[in-house]
Amino acid sequence: MIYSASGTAIGVFLFFVAVVLGISFYLGRRAKSARGYFAAHGEIGWFVNGVAFAGDYLSAASFLGICGMIAFYGYDGFLYSIGYLAGWIVALFVIAEPIKRLGKFTFADALNAKFNSRAIHVAAGISTLVVSIFYLIPQMVGAGALVKPLLGMPHWAGVLIVGTVVIVIVVTAGMVSTTYVQFIKGSLLVIFCFVLVVMILNRGLRTDPMSNKEQSQTVAVRPDGTTLLNGQPIPKGKPFGVVFPEGSVKALPENLQRAAPLGPWEYLSVFQRSTIATYTSKVTKQPDGTTVTTYTQVPRKGSDLLLPGGSPTFKGVRSAKLADKLDFLSLMLALFAGTASLPHILIRYYTVKDAQAARKSTVVGIASIGFFYVLTLFLGLGAMTNGTLDVSNC
């Protein structure tokens, strides 16, 4: 797909940027002390803080990554959501109230006050920076990936614009502005994703006549950068976007051509009994240095796509090998425990007034994030079956 700038999209983008920056400068007057800057004076309401949890957590990795995983691998992508959400149970029962009772406004200060150890203080600060850097990298990549199709700008422009806006928001008012901006972001994300899911359910599932043809296409990239699709040259540097879409519906149950509109359970039931035209890829390198990628259609039952363990990432679910099972358990443990130790999650517990409010905000966060992750299942399956994903451009 070759992207082009849209005046409407740019206008909407600039409108939201202006709104969040206006909020930041307005609220900046309330951050007159260190406690106000780092912890919003502990005056944030538990409901606002809970939705802000969702805004903080439902980032590019959640919205783009998980939906993309589900679109390509089916239910296996949804397993990431389960691991992420389970980590909030740890935060609720182990982290929320104890960390609030420490009475400081940064995690490092809280540890230092508890143990009075400079080494622990330094270790907490270093680990926070390391985790934040590795967490920011996919966020910036995601920002560039979103700006490219929405605004028609290059990837680097998205990274620069979004990075600059976020820095201004944080610098102007600290946690005060960050909290309300994340509250708006979390609310809009859940609301608009819900609207998208309603549209997907209303559209339902329908077969694509082209999916009945067996597809096998090759993309060759020569050492000089020239791209060939089935032997035909494509302009250098242009996304080809012409390989047959991933995941169109090949056949519906009872030889139907379309099933719509559908409720949530009906959608999953019809999908389960359908045949989906997915694709597999194979990369080979020729002696002259040309890289050839062959995309071959592989029809799969919807019931198989809704079973865990069908993708290489989660093969440990079904594999009889101990190493594969341990690999799967290791990933789930990392998702489960990692959530409760993210720096930008921990610091938010200091923005509410007491331990009870910290617990309530965590419950609101779990509800918001859990609802969103349910929506990602339908968003991913909808992307898989609407005939617009291009396996050569992902």
Task: Decide: helix, strand or coil at residue 252.
Answer: coil
The C-alpha torsion from 355 through 93 and 34 to 159, rounded to 10°, is: -140
Q: What is the pLDDT of residues 151-200, one digit of tens each?
A: 777 888 888 888 888 888 778 777 888 888 888 888 988 999 999 999 99
CA atoms within 13 A on the CB side of 122: 3
Contact 248, 385 (CB under 8 A): yes
| Torsion sign over Cα 63, 179, 14, 162 | negative
Question: Around Cβ 162, how many Cβ atoms within 10 Å?
Answer: 19
| Residue ranges, the chain, pLDDT below 70 | 1-5, 29-32, 60-61, 96, 99-108, 110, 208-217, 219-222, 224-247, 312-313, 316, 389-394
**pLDDT given at position 197:** 95
Strands 275-285 and 248-251: antiparallel
Question: Around Cβ 15, how many Cβ atoms within 10 Å?
Answer: 10
CA distances from 134 to 120, 124, 126, 209 (A): 21, 16, 13, 44
Q: Residue ranges per domain, the chain? A: 7-204+339-393, 208-299
Residue type, 223: P
Contact 49, 352 (CB under 8 A): yes
